[in-house]
Amino acid sequence: MIGITAYGAYYPRGRLSKKAIADANAWFDAGLNAHAKGERAFCNWDEDTITMGIEAARDCLSSLPNPELSNLYFASTTFPFLDRQNSVLVSEALNLDSGVRTMDIAASQRVATSALIALLEAGHSKPGLLIASEHRKAKAGSRSEMLWGDGAAAVTVGSDDVLAEFICAETAAVDFVDHYRGEDSSFDYDWEERWIRDEGFMKIVPSVIESLLSKANVEAGDIAHFVIPTDQARTPGALAKQLGIPVKAIVDNGISTLGIAGAAQPLLLLANALEKAYPGELILVTGFGQGCDAILLRATQEVSTYRPVRGFSRAAEHRREETNYNKFMSFNNLVERDIGKRGEADKQTYLSGYNRRKDLLTGFIGGKCTECGTVQIPREKYCVNPDCHALDSQDDYCFSARKGTVKTWTADRLTFDWNPPAYFGMVQFDNGAKLMMDFTEVEEGGIDSGSKVSFHFRIKQFDTQRGFRKYFWKAVIS
Amino acid sequence: MAEGIKDKVVILGMGCSKFGERWESSPSDLMVEAFEECIADAGIEKDQIDAAWFGAGIDSFNVGASAMPLSIALRLNYIPVTKVENMCATGTEAFRGAVYAVASGACDIALALGVEKLKDTGYGGLPQRSRGVENDMYWPNLSAPGAFAQLAAGYQAKHKLNKKDLKRAMAHVSVKSHANGAKNPKAHLQREITEEQAMNAPFIAEPIGLFDCCGVSDGSACAIVTTPEIAKRLGKENIVSVKALQLAVSNGTEASHRSWDGSYLKTTRIASQRAYNEAGVKNPKQEITMTEVHDCFSITELVTMEDLQLSKEGGAVKDILDGTFDADGSNPCQIDGGLKCFGHPIGASGLRMIYENYLQFQGRAGARQLPDPKLGLNHNLGGFPHQNICSISIIGPYG
The answer to whether B392 touches B91, Cβ cutoff 8 Å, is: no
Name the residue ranges covered by the structural domains of chain A: 3-331, 342-352+400-477, 365-398
- CB distance A432 to A375 below 8 Å: yes
Structure confidence by residue, pLDDT tens digits, B35-45: 999 999 999 99
Residue B214 is among the residues annotated as catalytic for this protein:
no
Q: Which of A124-128, A202-206, A288-292, A353-357 has the lowest mean pLDDT?
A: A124-128
From the list B134, B139, B153, the residue facing A353 with the nearest CB is B134
The whole-number average pLDDT for the span B107-132 is 93
Instruction: Name the catalytic one among B88, B214, B222, B333.
Output: B88
Query: Residue B61: pLDDT band by 50, 70, 90 thresholds?
Result: confident
Q: Using CA atoms, how far apart are residues B35 and B13, in angstroms rounded to an integer? A: 10
Chain B contacts in chain A segment 337-396 (CB below 8 A): 340-342, 345-346, 349-350, 353-354, 356-357, 360-361, 374, 376-378, 380, 384-386
CATH number of A3-331: 3.40.47.10
Cα–Cα distance list, A471 to A81, A90, A96, B103 (Å): 13, 11, 17, 50
HEC string for chain B? CCCCCCCCCEEEEEEECCCECCCCCCHHHHHHHHHHHHHHHHCCCHHHCCEEEEECCCHHHCCCCCCHHHHHHHCCCCCCEEEECECECHHHHHHHHHHHHHHHCCCCEEEEEEEEECCCCCCCCCCCCCCCCCHHHCCCCCCHHHHHHHHHHHHHHHCCCCHHHHHHHHHHHHHHHHHHHCCCCCCCCCCCCCHHHHHHCCEEECCEEHHHECCCCEEEEEEEEECHHHHHHCCCCCCEEEEEEEEEECCCHHHHCCCCCCCCCHHHHHHHHHHHHHHCCCCHHHHCCEEECCCCEHHHHHHHHHHCCCCCCCCHHHHHHCCCCCCCCCCCECCCCHHHHHCCCHHHHHHHHHHHHHHHHHCCCHHHCCCCCCCEEEEEEEEECCEEEEEEEEEEECC
For residues B181 and B187, is the Cβ–Cβ distance under 8 A?
Answer: yes
Q: Are A47 and A192 in contact (CB under 8 A)?
A: no
The architecture CATH gives domain A342-352+400-477: Beta Barrel (2.40)
pLDDT band at B271 (very low <50, low <70, confident <90, very high): very high
Scanning A426-455 for CB atoms below 8 A from B yields: 426, 428, 432-438, 449-450
pLDDT for B145: 97
pLDDT for res B59: 83
Q: What integer pLDDT is reported at residue A67 of this predicted model?
A: 79
**Domains of chain B, with CATH numbers?**
10-119+218-233 (3.40.47.10), 143-194+239-397 (3.40.47.10)
Residue B371, pLDDT above cutoff 80: yes
Nearest CA in chain A to B127: A342
The pLDDT value given to residue A66: 76
Residue ranges of B 138-157 with Cβ closer than 8 A to chain A:
138-143, 145-146, 149-154, 156-157
Q: What is the pLDDT at residue A93?
A: 98
Report chain B's mean pLDDT, rounded to a whole number: 97
Task: Report, as an integer, the average pLDDT of A35-49.
Answer: 97
Q: Do B153 and A409 touch (CB under 8 A)?
A: yes
Please report how the helices A265-276 and A111-122 are oriented relative to each other, as an axis angle in degrees rounded to 10: 60
- The beta-carbon neighbor of B255 closest among A342, A354, A436 is A436
Average pLDDT over residues A376-395: 98
Classified as helix, coil or strand, A131 is: strand
Q: Is the ipTM of this complex over 0.90?
A: yes
The band of A74, judged by pLDDT with boundaries at 50, 70 and 90, is: very high
- Among B137, B205, B257, whose Cβ lies nearest the Cβ of A412? B205
pLDDT at residue A266 in the model: 98
Say whether A408 and B252 touch across the interface (CB within 8 A). Answer: no
Convert the pLDDT of each residue in A146-171 to its tens digit.
999 999 999 999 999 999 999 999 99
Give the count of Cβ contacts less than 8 A between chain A and B: 139
Q: Is B344 part of the annotated catalytic residue set?
A: yes
* pLDDT > 70 in chain B, percent: 100
Nearest-by-CA chain B residue for A353: B134
Closest residue on chain B to A384 (Cα): B253
The stretch A4-20 carries a mean pLDDT of 98
Q: Which of A2-11, A61-70, B246-255, B283-292 has the lowest mean pLDDT?
A: A61-70
Contact A422 B129 (CB under 8 A): no
pLDDT in tens, B299-338: 999 999 999 999 999 999 999 999 999 999 999 999 999 9
**Does A357 contact B139 at a Cβ distance shorter than 8 Å?**
no
- Residue of B130, B141, B161, B162 best to disrupt the A interface, most CBs of A under 10 A: B141
Checking if the pLDDT of A258 tops 80, the result is: yes
CB-based contact A418:A46 (threshold 8 Å): yes
- Contact at CB, A386 and B257, closer than 8 angstroms: yes
Mean pLDDT of B238-244: 98
Asked if A437 lies within 8 A of B125 by C-beta distance, the reply is no
Report the sign of the C-alpha dihedral through residues B221, B226, B228, B233, in that order: negative
Most B CBs within 10 A among A352, A402, A414, hence the mutation to make, goes to A414
pLDDT digits (tens, 9 = 90+) for A113-136: 999 999 999 988 899 999 999 999
With a cut of 80, say whether residue A65 has pLDDT above it. no
pLDDT of B60 higher than 80: no
Whether A6 has its CB under 8 Å from any CB of chain B: the answer is no
Q: What is the pLDDT of residue A180?
A: 98
